[in-house]
Amino acid sequence: MEDAKLKGLEICHPQERNIFNRIFGGFLMRKAYELGWANACAFAGCRPMLVAVDDIMFRKPVEIGSLLMLSSQVCYTEEHHVQVRVHTEVLDPLTRQHDTTNVFHFTFQVDKPVPAVVPQSYGESMLYLDGKRHFDETMKSQ
């Protein structure tokens, strides 16, 4: 699992604001999707197709000028499917405080079988189980 990560950083500019003068949620969703797609593509070695997006909860608003850090992790795979978790957080450069804003779960399908991801720590095991749970719920509703 350690080799199935991808990270990104966005500086949140005013043109991405909503009517409340905060960063528009659709912008956050797009950036998370793009990073998740890129991670699934790099992991599987081919272009993935989006199958499902799990519920999205906006835990905290993102202010204009924020440093938005995105961390993507392939957390579960099964046959032709890749389950990706994208964690977004705001970093305050003055206090070095990290605050989670969103956690996204994407399910992708690819043209060829993908290798299994193997957790090697307790934290990775928790991500793996959470990814499997999200994947199973997605497949049940299909």
Q: Which helix (H) or strand (E) holds 42?
A: helix 25-44
Whether this model's pTM surpasses 0.75:
yes
* Run of H or E including 122: helix 122-141
- Strand bridging mode 49-53 / 97-109: antiparallel
Q: What is the tens place of the pLDDT at every residue in 93-110?
A: 888 889 999 999 999 999
pLDDT at 12: 92
pLDDT (tens digit per residue) in 26-68: 999 999 999 999 999 999 999 999 999 998 888 999 999 899 9
Does residue 69 register a pLDDT over 80?
yes
pLDDT at 95: 84
Class (C level, CATH) for 5-141: alpha beta
The proportion of the chain whose per-residue pLDDT surpasses 70, expressed as a percent, equals: 100
What is the average pLDDT score of the chain?
93
Bridging pattern class, strands 67-78 and 81-92: antiparallel
Q: Which pLDDT score is estimated for 94?
A: 81
